[in-house]
């Protein structure tokens, strides 16, 4: 138990993982907004489908980000893909989580577009992750290795959101 504690503390202090828990989860909320924009850019049909069905990013992305996809681990699962995500996270940071999340969405887009809202929410909260993360799925591993989401894109989206937030704040002050 002590060794596990120190490993988790190392994760919090040597990566940017712990920052998502600070300041009223401000960073986590920013990441939800960034992923909304990524989904819009890469999978616009799915993004529109989610919006039309009131499926918010935080419904599924929070568990994926807070636990780095480990929330759905159960006995007997192969951890090949999840280990790859963790390796990529330790090397590249949050862009690897965005890439894995986008890859899951892309692999299942057609199926999700055919689902009703409640089954889709259940699927997003567990089955989509179990389908790819706990098998040796070569397509998924190949997609996360490509690192679709680049640092420059994340930087641009953060700046865009910051600018949008400033405009909203200015508008509220003038009223």
Q: For the segment 149-172, what is each residue's pLDDT rounded down to a tens digit?
A: 888 888 899 888 888 877 776 666
**pLDDT tens digit sequence for 53-97:** 999 999 989 888 888 777 766 555 557 777 888 888 888 888 888
Rg for the chain (alpha carbons), in Å?
17
- Indicate the burial class of 174 (C-beta count within 10 angstroms; 0-12, 13-18, 19 or more): exposed
**C-alpha count within 13 angstroms, C-beta hemisphere, residue 22:** 6
**pLDDT tens digit sequence for 101-157:** 998 889 889 999 999 999 898 888 877 766 665 555 677 777 777 767 888 888 899
pLDDT at residue 44 greater than cutoff 80? yes
pLDDT at residue 15 greater than cutoff 70? no
Q: Is the CB of residue 30 less than 8 Å from the CB of residue 162?
A: no
Q: What would the two tokens of residue 14 be? A: 């040597």
Q: How many CB atoms lie within 10 A of CB 145?
A: 13
Higher pLDDT, 35 or 73: 35
Nearest to 125 by CA among 55, 21, 37: 55
Q: At 152, give phi and psi (nearest 5°).
A: -65, -40
pTM over cut 0.75: yes
- Indicate the burial class of 102 (C-beta count within 10 angstroms; 0-12, 13-18, 19 or more): buried
**Rounded distance, CA 49 to CA 133, Å?**
24
């Amino acid at each position: 138990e002590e060794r596990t504690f120190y490993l988790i503390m190392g994760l919090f202090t040597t990566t940017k993982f712990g920052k998502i828990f600070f300041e009223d989860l401000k960073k986590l909320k920013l990441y939800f907004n960034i992923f909304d924009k990524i989904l819009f850019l890469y999978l616009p049909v799915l993004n529109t489908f989610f919006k039309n069905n009131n499926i918010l990013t935080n419904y599924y992305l929070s568990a994926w980000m807070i636990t780095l996809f480990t929330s759905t681990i159960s006995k007997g699962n192969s951890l090949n893909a999840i280990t790859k995500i963790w390796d990529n996270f330790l090397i590249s940071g949050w862009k690897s989580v965005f890439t894995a999340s986008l890859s899951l969405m892309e692999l299942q887009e057609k199926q999700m577009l055919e689902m009703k809202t409640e089954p889709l929410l259940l699927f997003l909260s567990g089955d989509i992750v179990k389908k790819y993360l706990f098998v040796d799925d070569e397509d998924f591993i190949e997609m996360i290795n490509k690192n679709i989401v680049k640092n420059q894109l994340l930087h641009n989206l953060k700046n865009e959101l910051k600018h949008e937030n400033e405009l909203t704040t200015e508008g509220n002050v003038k009223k």
